[in-house]
Amino acid sequence: MPPLKAVIFDLDNTLTDFMRMKHKAVRSAVEAMVEAGLDYNVEQGLSAILAIYDEKGYEYQEVFNDFLTQVTGSVNYKYLAAGIVAYRRARDSSLVLYPHVNVTLMTLAKEGYRLGVVSDAPSREAWMRLCYLNLHHMFDAVVTFDDTGVHKPAPEPFQAICKLLEVEPEEALMVGDWPERDLKGAERLGMRTAFARYGNSHGVTSSDADYTLDNIDALINIVHEFKQQ
Ligand SMILES: [Mg+2]
């Protein structure tokens, strides 16, 4: 096997605890809408909004409009604004990295590995999250949805990141929480794969990845194993 030169990460639910942020922000939004006068149960509101996200995707911007239409038959703009403001405040204070992400990335960078991100998030949202978490200088290259116009597991995002990092797919390890998207596409191109089980948010607990991670810092030992081969 060729030596490992690059480690490439999915962003949401692999580096960031995205679902935790979404849950907290949506709960705050529903509480604020109720406080503004919406007559609805907070827990049911949270479930209803998460169901809309599941159907339309987690970047869907009209989610509160849809929710209000669903439960009241129309959009009350006072409720909507209260929800959006509360959502934004809670989002900005609850987006966090998983434990040991910083030290793992720093260690890999110091050891000379090129680091990349491949995200299906829209470019603006992906870069906002990277900047918010102070990770925007950490990576040698970042590929987001708008860079290729296709989602994983299509080959284009993986090819694009390898090209930017100037490595062959065989020289890269792809880390992600969603095997069908993050790992299948990478594997088809010949990349090595690690399943971020700690971040899994799709009910998947096993995969046929080369490695399974219960902590991101397990990557350090994995790359050391490569060196010894
Ligand atoms: Mg993910």
Q: Where are the domains of the chain?
A: 6-17+97-228, 19-94
Q: Name the band, by pLDDT with cuts 50, 70 and 90, for residue 203.
A: confident
Distance separating alpha carbons of residues 200 and 185, to the nearest angstrom = 17
The burial class, CB within 10 Å (0-12 / 13-18 / 19+), for 221 is exposed
At residue 118, the 3 state secondary structure works out as strand
Mean pLDDT of 212-229: 91
Q: How far is the CA of 91 from the centre of ligand 1 (A)?
A: 17
Per the confidence metrics, is the pTM higher than 0.85?
A: yes
Cα-to-centroid distance, 16 and ligand 1 (Å)? 9
Q: How far apart are the CA of 98 and the centre of ligand 1, in A?
A: 12
Q: CA angle, corner 160, sides to 204 and 110, nearest 5?
A: 80
Residue 114 forms beta bridges with which residues?
6
Distance (angstroms) between ligand 1 centre and the Cα of 139 equals 17
Ligand 1 centroid from CA 79, angstroms: 31
Q: With H, G, I as helix, E, B as strand and everything else as coil, classify residue 213.
A: strand
> What's the CA-to-centroid distance between 163 and ligand 1, angstroms?
22
Tell me the CA–centroid distance for residue 80 and ligand 1, in Å: 28
Instruction: Count the Cβ atoms, other than its own, within 10 Å of residue 165.
Output: 22
Give the separation between CA 224 and CA 202, rounded to whole angstroms: 30
The CATH code that applies to domain 6-17+97-228 is 3.40.50.1000
Q: Is the pLDDT of residue 228 over 80?
A: no
Q: What is the CATH number of domain 19-94?
A: 1.10.150.520
